[in-house]
Structures are given as C-alpha cells and as structure tokens.
C-alpha cells in the first residue's frame, strides 16, 4: 500500500505456500486489513503460482465481510455435516452387512469431503496451517482418491464384471491408474498432475455414462437413480474444473452450487445403494439369526441344568439329545422348504407346458414328449398313432367374425380334442395357430381311423351356434400309425401326419386321411 507521493505505508506477504501464522488475520482466505488513516493511496498486488490460480478480489467493510463469512461458513458446515452423516451411516452399515460396496462408497464420500476442505481452505486453516504446500497436494491426492473410490463404487454397483461389460478392462485400468497418480503426485510437476487429474476424471465419467446407458434398459429402478446421481456428479466435476480453470466466475453462488451439488449427488448415490439391497435377504438373515439365537439359549439353559446336577454322563446324553433335536428341526425345516420349492417348480413347469388360450399342452411340450413315446413304443413293439387336426377355413372365420370369435372356436375345438384324447388314453396338444395334434401310444391303425372319424363327426355335429360366429365348425385330420423301427426318427412320423393332413385339405376338407406308413413306403387311404 503506497501513498500518493510514493511512500510505503503497508506491506503484507500471504499465500498458500506461507505459514498461516504470518498472516495479519488468520483466516482460510487471504484477508488483508487496509489502512484507514489516508484519504487516497494505491494498492499493488503481485501474484505468483506454479499452476492454476484464482484471485477473486473483493473489498469489504468489516460488517459486510462478517455477514458474508457467516453465511459461507454455514453453507460449508451444512455440506460437511451432511457428508459426515452419510459417511458414518454407511460405514456402520458396512460393519454390519460386510458388503464391500459400502466401503467403496465411504471412501468416495471421505475423499470428496477432504477435497472440499482443501478447496475451501479449511484444511489449510485448521489442519496443516504451518505447511502451506500441502494444500495443493491434498487437493490432488483427494481428487485421485475420489476417482478411485467412485469408479470402484460404480463398477460394483452396476456389476460391470459380472455382466461382461465390454469396456470393463479400460475402466479397471483407469481405476488403478488413479492410484498411480495418487502415489506419484508429490514427485510430479503440479501442472502435469492437474492436467492428469482433469483428463482422468472426464474419461472415467464418460465411461460411466456409457455403462449406465448400456444397462438402463434392464428396468432396474436403482440404475435410474444412479443415472441421475452420475449426471449430477458430471455436472459437479465440470463446475469444479470450469471454476478452477477460470471458465466460470468465482463467487458465492458458483462456490455453493458446487458444494450442494456434491451433497445432492452423494445422497442420490446413497439412495441408489440402499434401494439395491435385497430386503428379502435381510429378512431371511434376521429369521435365521433369531432361530440360531433361540437354539443357543435353549442349549445354554439345558447345559446349566446339566452343570447344576453334576452328572457328566447325563449331561453328555442330554447334549446329544439337544443336538439330535436341533438336527431334526433343521432337517424338517429343510424338508418343508424343499417341498415348497419342488411344488413351485412343478407349477412353473405346468405353466410352461400349457397353452394359455386353450389350456391344452403346447407345442414345446409336444416336442419333448414325442421322442420319449417314440422310444417307449419302439422298446415295447407297439403302435404309436399321431393325428394332426386343422380347423377348416379358420382364417376366413377370423377375417369375417373377428379374433375374439376365432378364440372361442379354438377353445371349443380344444375342449372336444381334450375329451377325445382322454377317451383314447392319449394327449391333445395345440401345435400352432389353428392346428392341433393328438398322440396315442399303443393305438392300432384300425382304432386310429375310427377315433379320427369320431373326432371329425363330433366337431361337425356338436360345435355349432357360436354367438356372433359361424353356424358350424369342421376339421381336417391327418393320421399316421406305425410301430417305430430302429433308425426311424419322430420327425418322419410328423412329416407323414402333415402330408396326410394336407391331402385331406386338398380333397375338400372336413375329412380324415390315414397314411399307412411302415417305415419304408407310404400309402394313403381315405
């Protein structure tokens, strides 16, 4: 500070590389009191930095500065408090659940907390006040640490390794490279460290967005929350970089926007993490712990009775009995759960086998059954009869009366086929569309012909009068019956039944065509 005639009246040397004890006012900012004994003076400022520098110069009255500083400290305190709460809460969750992803989240929150303390000068003010050079180093160290833990958290949350993410090796490389940057920070020029940190942060965030949009279509609700959090994370990193590189101005609004954005993204990450935990797994674990606790209490009570009676032999017998009872209880519980699981499995298999519209067995189950019946009939040297049934002019029914009427026709035909299949000790299947199949193990060609004709007559005479539909429904049937020979495949039998069905259609429909097939030649009888 120099007077108008060039007389030096004040000189102060401050900065992050100097001990805070040398400052005229010990504060996290460079606060310099100006003299008020002169009406006019000049202020000369010299600034030197070995990397990026910010100099948001402002003149304050003491009252205005105190009010501004109180508001600023309140905002930072709220930021630090929120981050500390999330850090402690998730750390205690980790100690309870022992899920590594919580530890990665805690590391990320701790790193961001140290980064904010370093950027806002609180570390320099209260922690390393006599080692000013640590301010920039701590910012870089916490930055690399935040990248490592945030990347680890994201990779574990999105299960990139388990899902076979195509860029997982690149993500893993950058994640471990951030630790290399962390170790090398004290020995590299600050300019290089700054550029390396910024580039690494942008690469990791870009890969994170690629991973998020790769798996967001899975419909997993936590991934939606994670996507919002990762977007806020990107905005926060961009604001910090643009702020520190001078693209956006330094003022109370930009500074607090970055701070509260950090809290908001960490809250979102915590919500996504909490939503990811399977509550059913926790309930099951708690139930098992209660059961184990009850068994332990029962065992301890019986052991105290044994010790009071001082009967070693009886104690051993009772202990053995307790173990046997516990084993029986556990075996019963396992048996009950196994029975429930088998029942659920059978229900699922039934649902997979059943056609939802007609309630007949579906083609998938037909494809499974025909090889087995084929082998059984070949082994027992008995006939295997296959009938292929097709509703005549079904497309015209759909076109004229609509698909709802068409569905009613399919249902009525399926009911007749199901009943006739049971009479013939066989099974009826919906083969596809308006086509059905019936499989009769042990049925000769003569009985197959009679059964097919009976089915055709049942359709023509009894399926009539569908509301808003056709007056009658007819079907065409192709029949093949053969004693399976060695080397003959089920597909050949299906092919001959289809050929007989197509012949019935060609001859005018509403008829039965029987293909007499002995494994080497085919003769058709009408």
Contacts of 207 (CB under 8 A, 6+ apart): 167, 170, 171, 174
pLDDT score at 237: 67
**3-class SS at 435?**
strand
Contacts of 455 (CB under 8 A, 6+ apart): 387, 389, 416, 417, 420, 438, 475, 477
Q: Are 111 and 149 in contact (CB under 8 A)?
A: yes
Return per-residue pLDDT of the chain as tens, 526 residues.
998 788 898 898 887 777 777 778 877 778 888 887 767 888 999 988 776 677 778 888 888 888 877 877 777 777 778 778 777 877 777 787 777 877 887 888 788 778 777 777 777 677 766 665 666 688 888 888 888 888 887 788 777 888 788 888 888 888 888 888 888 888 888 778 878 888 888 888 788 777 777 776 665 666 666 677 667 666 766 776 676 666 766 655 555 555 555 665 566 556 656 655 554 365 567 778 888 888 888 888 877 777 777 777 766 777 788 888 888 888 888 778 777 777 766 666 666 789 889 889 999 999 999 999 888 998 888 999 999 999 998 998 888 888 888 888 899 899 999 988 888 788 999 998 899 999 999 988 888 899 999 999 888 877 766 777 788 889 999 999 998 887 788 999 899 999 999 999 999 999 999 987 765 544 434 3
Q: Are 418 and 520 in contact (CB under 8 A)?
A: no
Q: Are 453 and 358 in contact (CB under 8 A)?
A: no
pLDDT score at 115: 78
DSSP H or E segment with residue 110 = helix 100-119
> What is the spatial distance between Cα 375 and Cα 388, in angstroms, rounded to a whole number?
20
For 255-290, b where at least 16 C-beta lie within 10 A, e where not — what string? Answer: bbbbbebbbbbbbbbbebbeebeeeeeeeeeeeeee
> What is the spatial distance between Cα 170 and Cα 220, in angstroms, rounded to a whole number?
24
pLDDT score at 523: 40
Q: Are 131 and 172 in contact (CB under 8 A)?
A: no
Q: Please indicate, yes or no, whether the overall pTM of this predicted structure exceeds 0.85.
A: no
* DSSP codes joined into one string, 204-254: HHHHHHHHHHHHGGG--HHHHHHHHHHHHHHHHHHHHHHHHTTSS--SHHH
> What is the spatial distance between Cα 161 and Cα 444, in angstroms, rounded to a whole number?
59
> What is the spatial distance between Cα 448 and Cα 127, in angstroms, rounded to a whole number?
95
* DSSP codes joined into one string, 141-187: HHHHHHHHHHHHHHHHHHTTTTTT-TTHHHHHHHHHHHHHHHHHGGG
> What is the spatial distance between Cα 418 and Cα 299, in angstroms, rounded to a whole number?
59
**3-class SS at 354?**
strand
> What is the spatial distance between Cα 346 and Cα 519, in angstroms, rounded to a whole number?
37
Both ends of the chain: CA-CA distance in Å? 119
Q: Are 5 and 40 in contact (CB under 8 A)?
A: no
pLDDT score at 388: 95
pLDDT score at 526: 39
pLDDT score at 142: 83
Phi then psi for residue 393, to 5 deg, are 55, 40
pLDDT score at 350: 64
Residues in the chain: 526
pLDDT score at 495: 92
């Amino acid at each position: 500070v120099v007077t108008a005639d060039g007389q030096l009246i004040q000189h102060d040397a401050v900065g992050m590389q100097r001990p805070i004890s040398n400052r005229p006012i010990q504060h996290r900012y460079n606060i310099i009191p100006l003299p008020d004994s002169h009406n006019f003076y000049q202020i000369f400022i010299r600034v030197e930095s070995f990397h990026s520098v910010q100099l948001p110069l402002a003149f304050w009255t003491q009252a205005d500065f105190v009010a501004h500083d109180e508001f600023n400290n309140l905002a930072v305190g709220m930021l630090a408090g929120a981050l500390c709460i999330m850090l402690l809460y998730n750390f205690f969750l980790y100690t309870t659940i022992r899920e590594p992803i919580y530890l990665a989240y805690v590391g990320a929150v701790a790193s961001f907390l140290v980064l904010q303390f370093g950027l806002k000068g609180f570390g320099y003010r209260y922690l390393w006040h006599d080692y000013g050079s640590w301010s920039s180093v701590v910012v870089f160290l916490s930055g690399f640490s935040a990248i490592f833990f945030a990347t680890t958290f994201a990779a574990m949350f999105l299960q990139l390794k388990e899902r076979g993410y195509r860029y997982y090796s690149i993500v893993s490389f950058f994640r471990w490279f951030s630790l290399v940057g962390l170790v090398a920070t004290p020995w590299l020029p600050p300019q290089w460290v700054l550029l390396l940190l910024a580039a690494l942060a942008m690469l990791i965030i870009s890969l994170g967005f690629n991973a998020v949009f790769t798996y967001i279509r899975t419909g997993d609700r936590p991934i939606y929350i994670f996507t919002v959090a990762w977007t806020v994370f990107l905005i926060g990193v961009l604001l910090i970089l643009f702020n520190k590189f001078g693209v956006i101005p330094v003022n109370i609004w930009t500074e607090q926007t970055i701070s509260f954005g950090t809290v908001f993204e960490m809250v979102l990450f915590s919500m996504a993490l909490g939503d990811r935990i399977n509550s059913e797994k926790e309930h099951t674990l708690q139930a098992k712990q209660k059961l184990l606790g009850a068994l332990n209490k029962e065992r301890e009570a019986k052991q105290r009775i044994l010790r009071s009676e001082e009967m070693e032999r009886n104690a051993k017998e009772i202990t053995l009995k307790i173990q046997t009872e516990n084993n029986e209880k556990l075996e019963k519980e396992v048996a009950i759960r196994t029975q429930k699981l088998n029942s659920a499995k059978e229900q699922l298999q039934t649902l997979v086998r059943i056609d939802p519209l007609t309630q007949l067995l579906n083609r998938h189950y037909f494809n499974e059954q025909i090889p087995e019946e084929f082998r059984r009939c070949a082994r027992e040297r008995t006939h295997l009869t296959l009938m292929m049934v097709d509703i005549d002019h079904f497309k015209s029914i759909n076109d004229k009366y609509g698909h709802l009427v068409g569905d009613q026709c399919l249902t009525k035909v399926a009911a007749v086929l199901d009943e006739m299949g049971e009479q013939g000790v066989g099974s009826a299947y919906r083969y596809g569309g308006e086509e059905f199949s019936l499989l009769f193990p042990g049925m000769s060609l003569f009985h197959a012909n009679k059964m097919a004709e009976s089915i055709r007559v049942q359709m023509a005479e009894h399926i009539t009068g569908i509301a808003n539909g056709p007056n009658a429904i007819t079907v065409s049937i192709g029949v093949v019956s053969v004693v399976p020979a060695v080397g003959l495949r089920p597909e050949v039998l299906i092919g001959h039944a289809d050929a007989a069905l197509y012949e019935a259609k060609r001859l005018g429909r509403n008829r039965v065509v029987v293909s007499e097939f002995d494994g080497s030649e085919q003769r058709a009888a009408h």
